[in-house]
Structure 1
Amino acid sequence: MTVRDAAFRTLRHFGLTTVFANPGSTEVPLLADFPDDLRFLLALHEGSVIGMATGHALATERPALALLHTVAGLGNAVGALATARVNRAPLVVLVGQQDRRHLALEPFLTGKLTGLAGDYPVWHEQPARPQDVPSALARAHHEAVTHRGPALVVVPMDDWSAPYDYGREVVAAPAGVRRPVSLTPADVQPLADFLASSRTPALVVGAGADSPAAWAALTALAERLRCPVWQESFEARAGFPQDHPLYAGVLPAERDGVRARLADRDAVLTVGAPVFRQYPYEPGPLVPAGTRVAVVTDDPDEAHRSPADLAVLADPGEVCAQLAALLPAREHTVPRPPPRARPPAPPEPPGPGEPLRPVHVLAALARGLPRETIVVEECPSARADLHALLPAREPLGYVSAAMGGLGFALPAAAGLRLGQPRRPVVAVVGDGSALYGIQALWSAVRYGAGVLFVVLSNGRYAVLDGVAAQHGAGAGPWPAFEDISVAGLATAMGCASHTVRTHADLLTTLHGITPTLPDRTKPILLDVTVPPDP
């Protein structure tokens, strides 16, 4: 038996039987004569490798396996690994390395890999001996699950053929790890007291609450408190049903806006999110004077950096379920929450000579998408309209790149569809965003990921233009790219595509595609021509 044989045995044991990869020569010793019971999925860029693996891990709630080619592969994947970490996607990432026997001479393709991905991996290991590779893979699986992020294992290419004696080698990792959740009433009582003493509480929810159990518990808690529920800004996922009457919208990303939204709230419980995600810096406190803040999260980093009166590090769904059971229902004399912002009325179709705008596209999608659709968002300049018109109505109904880097949506949507093949998946992407990850379309076609990709093509980085205008600095030096055809690029990748320029064509095209989404095995891309929104 070789180290390679033992490694495959370890991967099978942990269910890591699908590998997302962009390999090179240092990975050939692992991949030649690849076992028939394992699935190999090629991506044409390392960002697509990690993006697809991230989507698959989020869809299956299990670690996904990725394979990268030494320093070039890991270097190209760093941005996607950062997104996987912030999106809390458990990944086991194998990185190839030159032959161990002459690494001291730094031969061609030698990678100085330690630290290359910065602090974004939750664990990093290059085994001291070839025979330690199976142990490293097992531990990487456990580290990825426990810390909800990418765990890296670097393996020199000659390690795979080294002998491995099961009778003598010790695997330095458990065969399984149980993570029981045990909360006593005493653990939850401080939070119950926190909420019971509040006259006008509010909830702020985040990606850490995106599960069926957490949605059910938060719904019960919000209804008992009769309080509004805001979604954290720049969310990776939705933490509450966004069609619920108590849903109040997305919390602003600047301090003035947060204080304005919470002006009449004397206590805020944040669940599955830090306190609070922001983007532009503004001076001043995060909440109004006199407003107390508590946070519930199972992410230690979120808890430790949150300016809060109380932090509880535990499963959000379990905590909220116990809170809902402990707290009495509010009397009708308690001040009602502010009325939920009503969904905007569908926009009037564009008149003769008027352009098709992103809001028209989103409204058309909203008419026919099934309730269980997973919407993957990467359209920064149209994000507010998407939130208003395409609310998440089921857990995992909304997915976005919490890190903010572009190039996530196309590969992540493919990975999500492969991991949840019965749920419709629609990616709404700006053309600037799509160009960062266009190679993922080839993989989606090759491996039967039946995603609807809707590209809002305005031929420029409209959100960047808007930021420049807000700063009053005039136009930036970056040019428009209206001469690029995203539909043409999709065709080159083998992906069916259609260019949409009119509202009538949009409605007719969606009418034909939407009913096919649950059962599609091939992706299709709509390249929708829109002007930049003013």
Structure 2
Amino acid sequence: MSTGTVRDAAFEVLRRTGMTTIFGNPGSTEIPLLAGLPEDLRFVLALHEGSVVGMATGWALAGRGPALTVLHTTAGLGNAVSAIATARVNRAPLVVLVGQQDRRHLALEPFLAGRLHGLAGEYPVWTDQPVRAQDVPGAIARAAHEAVTGRGPAIVIVPMDDWSAPWDGTVEAAPAAVLRPAAVADEEIAPLAALLAQAEDPVLVAGAGADSPAGWAALTELAERLGCPVWQEAFGARAGFPQDHPQFAGVLPADRGGQRRALKGHDVVLAVGAPVFRHYPYDPGPLVEPGTRIAVVSDDPAEVHRSPAELAVLADPAAVCARLARLIPAARRRREVAGPDRRAVPPPAPGAPLRAVHVLQELARRLPPETVVIEEAPSSRADLHRLLPARRPLGFLSAAMGGLGFALPAVAGLRMALPERPVVAVVGDGSAIYGIQALWSAAHYRIGALIVVLANGRYAIMDRLAERHAGGPGAARVPWPAFPEVSLSAMARSFGCPAIRIDTHDRLVAVLDEIVPDLASRTEPLLLDIGVAPDAEFHP
């Protein structure tokens, strides 16, 4: 377009790039952009900036392309930094428009003027405040490309008067389209193919970067060709391999000692879509036993560049694995894989409290394979991995950054983007409190997600970590109190979200039998506030 305002030109960019859903919590500096929004652009309100970015992260991870968020100057961007960090580590392409005071008196640092460059640290993949108002549409278009290529949030800072500036038809400093060919030439991966072909006992480690239909198919074909076990990376944001496959070994231990034991006996370890390796807590010693060689395949430059591997391939994991499966000879034998222990536990005795494992087990018996499970229950994570395997791409999602407050916004964004798939969040009550504002958006926009809160009335993960630090159960006196008086069901209802309190196994079974069969067709959220006793042990 050659006439109109910068705002009009920016809207054309949003339409062209598919960013027609805007997640935001508006402030005064964003009014010139949002007031009188065209009807073909949808605004989704969240009640806190962490929820804004969390919902957009869920939307983007559902494969809808870059998601658009609008934040309010210093306060909005500052409130969203933790969620922006999560989006970066979760590889979610976001375009973040941050409002700024009127350009014409910024030199005087007026009220609401923000020192916005660097406020989000190094978590954005790109940040820009255009020199001229007329450069804003091009900056938004470039941010969409940067977010996709850099796999993370790209920030554009826009002074509020820029939107009404006349559009002069200036050249946009961004391409109309970016091609990212995924072809992999055989000669380029010949060294990796040779390494695997020579291996006597290889093993694969799958990561979030392989979580796509093409990634699952290629990695499955490669694993079956090699006849080897496949581990899931520790603290992964997503599952890179079907976790109900007979060659799935489980989630890799998060400490070096446990990892060495898990990978012992393998002469080649190939990490696919994952770095080498993520750990917590610190444990001294080498990553693998002497004599074990490490290779990595990832399309994330940062993952590749920091991985202490003998050989690294910076390319699309699905394309590389598909070619490797055709280049290497079939294994002469298939290694037996024990896999995760999925044995059932008995229900609680009459009068005994529910535990998280009882809830997870009943969910596992009922959830269909296409369910998206979002996890933010740190003290129960090991049981969730064991009992709720990801059976479809995007079947599992977690906050790889580790900060709380991700699941409730993400479950809303994901279900909004994928109305055909059941979406379930499994969240601790301590975690849920950090993102509770997202329930209002879920209720207001009639987002049919199920939120399962494992309510033990405390930060159980912190209690267990303190005990481990002090030498064993009961050895630590912690300064933080429990919070049994907090009612997540009451909080949910106050935001307009239906909620059910559950305290017995019989009630749990009855409620799940009633609601799970209709999860895919739900048109409103539901929170299950389930009272559980704290887990006695913690396995990172």
Fold-level similarity (TM above 0.5): yes
Give the Cα separation in 1 of the matches to 2:286 and 2:477. 32
- Would you say 1:519 and 2:521 are equivalent positions? yes
Give the Cα separation in 2 of the matches to 1:516 and 1:188. 47
C-alpha RMSD of the superposition: 0.8
* CA apart distance, 1:61: 4.3
Q: Which letter does structure 1 place at the counterpart of 2:179?
A: R
SS at match of 1:154: strand
Q: Determine the structure 1 residue equivalent to 2:457.
A: 459
- Would you say 1:491 and 2:493 are equivalent positions? yes
SS at match of 1:290: coil
Q: Which letter does structure 2 place at the counterpart of 1:516?
A: D
Give the Cα separation in 1 of the matches to 2:262 and 2:137. 52
Q: Determine the structure 2 residue equivalent to 1:445.
A: 443
Any conservation in 2 of the 1:26–1:96 contact (CA below 8 Å)? yes
| TM-score between the two structures when normalised by the length of structure 1 | 0.98
Give the Cα separation in 2 of the matches to 1:477 and 1:61. 44
Q: Determine the structure 1 residue equivalent to 2:75.
A: 72
Q: Which of 404, 408, 411 pairs up with 1:410?
A: 408
Any conservation in 2 of the 1:211–1:396 contact (CA below 8 Å)? yes
* CA apart distance, 1:361: 0.2
Q: Determine the structure 2 residue equivalent to 1:208.
A: 209
Any conservation in 2 of the 1:60–1:420 contact (CA below 8 Å)? no
* CA apart distance, 1:344: 2.4
Q: Which letter does structure 1 place at the counterpart of 2:201?
A: T
Any conservation in 1 of the 2:427–2:451 contact (CA below 8 Å)? yes
Give the Cα separation in 2 of the matches to 1:162 and 1:523. 42
* CA apart distance, 1:60: 2.3
CA displacement, residues 477-509 of structure 1 (integer Å, 9 cap, x when unaligned): 111110000000000000000000000000000
Q: Which letter does structure 1 place at the counterpart of 2:95?
A: V
Q: Which letter does structure 1 place at the counterpart of 2:480?
A: W
Q: Which letter does structure 2 place at the counterpart of 1:357?
A: R
Q: 1:342 to 1:79 in 2, by over 3 A?
A: closer
Any conservation in 1 of the 2:345–2:358 contact (CA below 8 Å)? yes
Give the Cα separation in 2 of the matches to 1:344 and 1:182. 39
Give the Cα separation in 1 of the matches to 2:212 and 2:323. 16
- Would you say 1:277 and 2:285 are equivalent positions? no
Q: Determine the structure 1 residue equivalent to 2:300.
A: 299
Q: Which letter does structure 1 place at the counterpart of 2:460?
A: A
Q: Which letter does structure 2 place at the counterpart of 1:225?
A: L
Q: Determine the structure 1 residue equivalent to 2:384.
A: 386
Q: Which letter does structure 2 place at the counterpart of 1:282?
A: D
Q: Determine the structure 2 residue equivalent to 1:365.
A: 363
Q: Which letter does structure 2 place at the counterpart of 1:184?
A: A
- Would you say 1:90 and 2:93 are equivalent positions? yes
CA displacement, residues 123-176 of structure 1 (integer Å, 9 cap, x when unaligned): 00011111110011011011001101000000000111111122xx11111111
Q: Which letter does structure 1 place at the counterpart of 2:370?
A: E
Any conservation in 1 of the 2:227–2:335 contact (CA below 8 Å)? yes
CA displacement, residues 271-316 of structure 1 (integer Å, 9 cap, x when unaligned): 0000011011111100100000000000000000000000000000
Give the Cα separation in 2 of the matches to 1:181 and 1:399. 25
Give the Cα separation in 2 of the matches to 1:143 and 1:133. 15
Give the Cα separation in 2 of the matches to 1:187 and 1:506. 54
Paired residues for 1:314-329 under 5 Å: 314-329=315-330
- Would you say 1:233 and 2:234 are equivalent positions? yes
Q: Which letter does structure 1 place at the counterpart of 2:236?
A: E
SS at match of 1:471: helix
Give the Cα separation in 1 of the matches to 2:311 and 2:253. 22
Give the Cα separation in 1 of the matches to 2:186 and 2:291. 27
Q: Which of 481, 500, 503 pairs up with 2:502?
A: 500
Give the Cα separation in 1 of the matches to 2:167 and 2:358. 61
CA displacement, residues 72-115 of structure 1 (integer Å, 9 cap, x when unaligned): 00000000000000000000000000000100111110100000
Q: Which letter does structure 2 place at the counterpart of 1:526?
A: L
Any conservation in 1 of the 2:14–2:20 contact (CA below 8 Å)? yes
SS at match of 2:157: strand
Q: Which of 104, 107, 112 pairs up with 2:107?
A: 104
Q: Determine the structure 1 residue equivalent to 2:310.
A: 309
* CA apart distance, 1:447: 1.2
- Would you say 1:10 and 2:13 are equivalent positions? yes
Shift >6 Å, 4+ stretches: none
* CA apart distance, 1:187: 1.0
Any conservation in 2 of the 1:2–1:161 contact (CA below 8 Å)? yes
Give the Cα separation in 1 of the matches to 2:108 and 2:121. 25
Q: Determine the structure 2 residue equivalent to 1:529.
A: 531
SS at match of 2:276: coil
| TM-score between the two structures when normalised by the length of structure 2 | 0.97
Give the Cα separation in 1 of the matches to 2:219 and 2:517. 32
SS at match of 1:513: helix
SS at match of 2:297: strand
Q: Percent sequence identity over matched residues?
A: 67
CA displacement, residues 393-418 of structure 1 (integer Å, 9 cap, x when unaligned): 00000000000000000000110101
* CA apart distance, 1:338: 4.1
* CA apart distance, 1:188: 1.5
* CA apart distance, 1:353: 1.7
Any conservation in 1 of the 2:22–2:43 contact (CA below 8 Å)? yes
Give the Cα separation in 2 of the matches to 1:270 and 1:197. 17
Number of equivalent positions: 529
Q: Determine the structure 2 residue equivalent to 1:354.
A: 352
* CA apart distance, 1:345: 2.0
* CA apart distance, 1:341: 2.7
Give the Cα separation in 2 of the matches to 1:492 and 1:448. 16
Paired residues for 1:418-433 under 5 Å: 418-433=416-431
Give the Cα separation in 1 of the matches to 2:477 and 2:88. 34
Any conservation in 1 of the 2:246–2:339 contact (CA below 8 Å)? no
Q: Determine the structure 1 residue equivalent to 2:42.
A: 39
Any conservation in 1 of the 2:269–2:293 contact (CA below 8 Å)? yes
Any conservation in 2 of the 1:454–1:528 contact (CA below 8 Å)? yes
Any conservation in 2 of the 1:454–1:526 contact (CA below 8 Å)? yes
Q: Determine the structure 2 residue equivalent to 1:247.
A: 248
Give the Cα separation in 2 of the matches to 1:368 and 1:176. 43
Any conservation in 1 of the 2:370–2:422 contact (CA below 8 Å)? yes
- Would you say 1:220 and 2:221 are equivalent positions? yes
Give the Cα separation in 1 of the matches to 2:216 and 2:404. 28
SS at match of 2:189: helix
* CA apart distance, 1:352: 1.4
Q: Which letter does structure 1 place at the counterpart of 2:506?
A: A
* CA apart distance, 1:340: 2.2
Q: Determine the structure 1 residue equivalent to 2:149.
A: 146
Q: Which runs of 5+ in 2 are unaligned?
A: none
Any conservation in 1 of the 2:294–2:309 contact (CA below 8 Å)? yes
* CA apart distance, 1:331: 1.4
- Would you say 1:121 and 2:124 are equivalent positions? yes
Give the Cα separation in 2 of the matches to 1:30 and 1:325. 52
Q: Determine the structure 2 residue equivalent to 1:267.
A: 268
Give the Cα separation in 1 of the matches to 2:289 and 2:173. 51
**Once structures 1 and 2 are overlaid, which stretch shifts more, 497-506 or 60-69?**
60-69
Give the Cα separation in 2 of the matches to 1:306 and 1:445. 43
Q: 1:476 to 1:502 in 2, by over 3 A?
A: same
Q: 1:277 to 1:338 in 2, by over 3 A?
A: farther
